């Protein structure tokens, strides 16, 4: 209060001469104040995401049989706290790792209800069966959907980067964002900022939501550098092609030499006209040899009817027996079919120990016997000591 600084205050001023607190430094973007990505890198990442998700939307349409629209991506940087505060909880994290062509991984974030709708449509439902908790069946189905979607996306990325791109099977987890986060699977996103790509996804009139794709900054830069190298190589190839075209000047047509002009006689037009009017005046050397005598140039052809040695009945039977002996030891699968029925996916999911399934065969009716899937006979079930057997009652012709 008397205007005299204490020793602690002096030390604080010496350690921070600008008078900026650590919180203020963090708010201003750190000591460098440099953006994580340049505008050009953001544009490149947005173009990659736009092409990849456009291909993925086409694949999702074939899986859910509904119109799928994914909007133009919005590229930004975010922290884990931003995702926790602004995204619905719980949500589904789908981790996609690149195994060939790129070294890294990304995470696709979907809302829980969106996953339920997509999986219900994949299982033949109408997308309204979203009651209950998200289980292993939903996670397995959405993993398969993302495997096909991101697989087609990797194919598009391969064309863009001019190299083979492949992914490992995606892994889906239900994440609460605060309680059950496996830090080992997202440790590269917890340390600092990362690249967040937001899309708006619409599936018919069932889904109108937002999905996110998260990239580590280093992985995003690697993709941008790959695109830059590919563009440079294309530009070099184009310049080489232009240079080669410029160096290849058209070759002038060879002019006849004076000797050739002297030795080639000029045709007598009057004589040619008279020969055309009267064919008998034409020089035999100027006529087509085949026009003079066509029969002189035709080779004689000897034509005879084809003759075949007849096969006797004994020889044919012996030949057939030798052929069938070659396959006598080939094993065939014999199946006895008691009956069949048809169930929907929802009915199959309700199966439990003790469930009775009614078949399409009446009690006492002969059962079907199939060999390698082909229906060959009918029969009836018998018991041989402690095993079931079948007695053939009719051979199907």
Residue 219 has pLDDT above 80, yes or no: yes
- Convert 176-203 to b/e letters by CB count within 10 Å (16 or more is b): ebeeebeeeebebbeeebbbbbbbebbb
Instruction: Write a three-state SS string for 26-58.
Output: HHCCCCCCCCCCCHHHHHHHHHHHHHHHHHHHH
List, for residues 385-394, the tens digit of each pLDDT value. 888 899 999 9
List, for residues 327-348, the tens digit of each pLDDT value. 788 888 999 998 889 988 888 8
Helix H or strand E encompassing 115: helix 112-122
- 357 versus 282: the higher-pLDDT residue is 357
Report residue 127's pLDDT band, with 50, 70 and 90 as the boundaries.
confident
CB 242 within 8 A of CB 129: no
List, for residues 243-260, the tens digit of each pLDDT value. 555 555 555 555 444 444
Report residue 106's pLDDT band, with 50, 70 and 90 as the boundaries.
confident
Average pLDDT over residues 145-160: 85
Q: Cα(343)–Cα(350) distance, rounded to whole angstroms? A: 11
**pTM of the prediction?**
0.50
CB 216 within 8 A of CB 194: yes
| CATH 3.40.1550.10 assigned to 39-231 | yes
Domain locations along the chain:
39-231, 327-339+362-397
CB 394 within 8 A of CB 366: yes
Average pLDDT of the chain, as a whole number: 74
Residue 377 has pLDDT above 90, yes or no: yes
Q: Which CATH class is domain 327-339+362-397?
A: mainly beta
């Amino acid at each position: 209060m008397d205007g005299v600084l204490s020793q602690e205050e002096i030390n604080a001023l010496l350690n921070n001469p600008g008078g900026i607190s650590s919180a203020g430094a963090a708010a201003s973007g750190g000591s460098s104040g440099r953006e994580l990505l340049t505008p050009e890198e953001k544009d490149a990442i947005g173009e990659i995401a736009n092409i990849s998700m456009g291909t993925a939307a086409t694949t999702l349409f074939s899986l859910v049989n509904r119109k799928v629209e994914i909007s133009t991506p919005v590229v930004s940087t975010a922290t884990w706290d931003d995702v926790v505060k602004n995204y619905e909880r719980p949500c589904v994290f789908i981790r996609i790792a690149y195994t060939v062509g790129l070294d890294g991984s990304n995470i696709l974030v979907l809302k829980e209800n969106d996953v339920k709708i997509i999986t219900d449509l994949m299982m033949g439902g109408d997308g309204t069966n979203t009651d209950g908790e998200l289980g292993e069946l939903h996670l397995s189905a959405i993993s398969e959907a993302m495997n096909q979607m991101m697989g087609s996306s990797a194919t598009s990325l391969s064309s863009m980067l001019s190299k083979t791109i492949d992914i490992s099977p995606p892994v889906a987890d239900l994440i609460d964002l605060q309680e059950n986060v496996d830090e080992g699977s997202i440790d590269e996103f917890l340390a600092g900022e990362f690249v967040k790509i937001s899309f708006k996804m619409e599936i018919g009139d069932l889904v109108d939501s937002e999905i996110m794709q998260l990239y580590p900054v280093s992985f995003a830069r690697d993709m941008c550098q790959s695109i830059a190298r590919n563009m440079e190589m294309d530009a070099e190839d184009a310049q080489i092609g232009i240079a080669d075209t410029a160096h290849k000047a058209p070759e002038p047509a060879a002019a006849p030499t004076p000797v050739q002009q002297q030795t080639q006689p000029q045709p007598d037009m009057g004589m040619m006209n008279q020969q055309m009017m009267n064919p008998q005046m034409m020089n035999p050397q100027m006529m087509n040899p085949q026009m003079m005598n066509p029969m002189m140039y035709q080779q004689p052809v000897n034509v005879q009817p084809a003759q075949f040695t007849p096969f006797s009945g004994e020889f044919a039977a012996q030949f057939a027996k030798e052929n069938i002996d070659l396959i006598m030891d080939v094993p065939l699968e014999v199946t006895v079919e008691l009956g069949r029925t048809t169930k929907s996916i929802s009915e199959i999911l309700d199966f439990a120990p003790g469930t009775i399934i009614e078949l399409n065969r009446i009690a006492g009716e002969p059962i079907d016997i199939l060999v390698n899937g082909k229906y060959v006979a009918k029969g009836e079930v018998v018991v041989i000591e402690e095993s079931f057997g079948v007695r053939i009652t009719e051979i199907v012709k």
